[in-house]
Amino acid sequence: MTVYLGNVGALVALPDPDPGVGATLARPRQEHATLGGGRTVDYAGPGRRTYTMAWERLTPAEYAVLEAFHTGGWGPGPFLLLPTAAGWNYLTPQQASATDVLATTDGFGGPAVMASSTAYAATGRRSLAWSLPANPTADHVLALTVQHNLPGLPVIPGVPLTWTAQVRAAAPITVTLIAEFGDADDHTLPGTATSTPVTAGPGWQTLTLTATPPTGAALTYPGVNVAPGSVTAPTVLYVDALRVDLGPTAPGWLPGRGVPLVSLVELTCSYPWADELSAAATFLEVGAG
The CATH number for 209's domain is 2.60.120.260
Supply φ then ψ for residue 229, to 5 degrees: -70, -15
254 assigned to some structural domain: no
Q: Could you give the CA distance from residue 244 to residue 159 in angstroms, rounded to a whole number?
A: 13
What is the structure's pLDDT at 271?
82
What is the structure's pLDDT at 174?
96
272 assigned to some structural domain: yes
Same domain, 186 and 50: no
Same domain, 11 and 63: yes
What is the structure's pLDDT at 4?
96
Which amino acid would we find at residue 6? G
251 assigned to some structural domain: no
Same domain, 100 and 60: no
Same domain, 155 and 187: yes
pLDDT values of the chain reduced to their tens digit, one per residue, 289 residues:
789 999 999 999 999 898 888 888 887 777 888 788 788 887 776 778 999 999 998 999 999 999 999 999 999 999 999 988 778 999 999 999 999 999 999 999 998 899 999 999 999 999 999 999 999 888 888 999 998 999 999 999 999 999 999 999 999 999 999 999 999 999 999 999 999 999 999 999 999 999 999 999 999 999 999 999 999 999 999 999 999 999 888 788 999 999 999 999 999 998 877 788 999 999 999 986 5
What is the structure's pLDDT at 140?
86
Q: Could you give the CA distance from residue 253 to residue 166 in angstroms, rounded to a whole number?
A: 10
Supply φ then ψ for residue 65, to 5 degrees: -65, -50
How remote is the C-alpha of 238 from its chain's centroid? 20
**Surface-to-core class of residue 101, CB atoms within 10 Å of its CB (0-12 exposed, 13-18 middle, 19+ buried):** buried
Same domain, 162 and 221: yes
Which amino acid would we find at residue 236? V
Closest CA to 280 of 264, 271, 269, 265: 269
Closest CA to 5 of 182, 268, 235, 260: 260
For residue 60, the SS3 value is helix
194 assigned to some structural domain: yes
Q: Per DSSP, what are the bridge partners of residue 48? A: 26
Determine the Cα angle at 104 with ends 175 and 287, to 5°.
100
124 assigned to some structural domain: yes
Domain residues for the domain of 43 are: 3-86+259-285
Please count the structural domains in the chain: 2
Closest CA to 234 of 86, 143, 129, 158: 129
CATH at residue 76: 2.40.30
152 assigned to some structural domain: yes
Same domain, 180 and 233: yes
Which amino acid would we find at residue 124? G
Longest dimension (CA), the chain: 73
Same domain, 205 and 102: yes
Same domain, 81 and 177: no
Going by C-beta distance under 8 Å and a sequence separation of 6 or more, which residues neighbour residue 88? 245, 246, 254, 257
18 assigned to some structural domain: yes
253 assigned to some structural domain: no
Closest CA to 140 of 112, 166, 167: 112
What Rg, from alpha-carbon coordinates, does the chain have? Answer: 21
